[in-house]
């Protein structure tokens, strides 16, 4: 039954208290912080969080582990345990941080849930597959996800795990992926939806960016955006830097405000 649960939720636990303590100690955790933990499992991370944070909300979908944690931490007065699916869970409305070892099978959905939330976490540390972390953080070449979110968040990989750090041992490499709110957003928060819609339009179907912009804004506006930003008509969306995308968006705002 244990193996069936772990296969169902694709969860691999960190077994070293020393490693968990090191990771949390090197995070931004503070004694006044409110933390959300997703999929606490046997409580290795939970134990460290409740010792260092003001309050911890742990959401566990597996009834076996939920009952286990209820008994294990029954005397912890700064911990709330919820038996729920995080994908259908109402996220906190107050400032909060996240530190979690999440199931690999739904890691993409969880990241989207958190980062696109109306109230995203101030700081977030997630144990995820290395491949996904590099794809999202896009350290070498920007992509749709990175361009869409980097005006408000910094991405980084803060730790590379050994496969033997986990029980059971996974057949993929894992890292500690972090995204944190920028102190000074590159675009105001109240423009997030407009900017993200523009980026989606600009990326289109992988055509040169001029073609994608012309379809939505017309030839005149598209040519103005490209020329004023000094971008070649042959340039593809994935070839633009974050700053170039921001410049295009800001030029579009100016064009629309001053027709």
CA atoms of 76 and 92, how far apart (whole Å): 20
CA atoms of 64 and 47, how far apart (whole Å): 18
Instruction: Check the annotation: does 183 bind a ligand.
Output: no
CA atoms of 167 and 200, how far apart (whole Å): 40
Tokens of 124: 């977030």
CA atoms of 233 and 180, how far apart (whole Å): 34
Q: Is 176 within 8 Å of 102 (Cβ atoms)?
A: no
| Cβ contacts of 140 within 8 Å, gap of 6 or more | none
By C-alpha distance, which of 197, 205, 130 is closest to 170?
A: 130
CA atoms of 29 and 26, how far apart (whole Å): 8
Dihedral angle over CA of 185, 187, 193, 197, nearest 10:
-130
Instruction: Check the annotation: does 63 bind a ligand.
Output: no
Instruction: Check the annotation: does 171 bind a ligand.
Output: no
Instruction: Check the annotation: does 26 bind a ligand.
Output: no
| Cβ contacts of 159 within 8 Å, gap of 6 or more | 23, 175, 176
Instruction: Check the annotation: does 67 bind a ligand.
Output: no
Instruction: Check the annotation: does 39 bind a ligand.
Output: yes
CA atoms of 9 and 58, how far apart (whole Å): 16
**Binding region:** 12, 14, 39, 60, 85, 101
**Binding region for S-adenosyl-L-methionine:** 12, 14, 39, 60, 85, 101
């Amino acid at each position: 039954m244990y193996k069936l649960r772990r296969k169902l939720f694709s969860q691999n636990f960190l077994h070293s208290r020393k490693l968990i303590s090191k990771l949390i100690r090197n995070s931004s955790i503070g004694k006044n912080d409110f933390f959300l933990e997703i999929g606490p499992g046997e409580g290795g991370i939970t134990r460290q969080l409740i010792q260092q944070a003001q309050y911890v909300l742990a959401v566990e979908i597996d009834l076996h582990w939920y009952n286990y944690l209820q008994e294990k931490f029954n005397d912890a007065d700064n911990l709330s345990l919820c038996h729920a699916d995080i994908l259908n869970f109402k996220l906190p409305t107050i400032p909060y941080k996240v530190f979690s070892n999440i199931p690999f099978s739904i890691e993409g959905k969880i990241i989207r849930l958190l980062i696109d939330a109306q109230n995203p976490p101030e700081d977030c540390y997630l144990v995820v597959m290395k491949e996904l972390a590099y794809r999202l953080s896009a350290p070498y070449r920007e992509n749709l996800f990175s361009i869409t979110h980097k005006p408000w968040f910094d991405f980084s990989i803060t730790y590379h795990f050994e496969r033997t750090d986990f029980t059971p041992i996974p057949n993929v490499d894992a890292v500690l992926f972090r995204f944190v709110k920028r102190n000074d957003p590159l675009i105001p928060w109240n423009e997030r939806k407009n900017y993200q819609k523009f980026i989606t339009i600009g990326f289109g179907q992988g055509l040169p960016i001029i073609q994608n912009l012309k379809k939505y804004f017309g030839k005149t506006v598209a040519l103005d955006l490209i020329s004023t930003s000094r971008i070649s008509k042959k340039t593809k969306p994935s070839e633009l830097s974050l700053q170039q995308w921001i410049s295009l968006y800001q030029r579009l705002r100016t064009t629309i405000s001053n027709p």
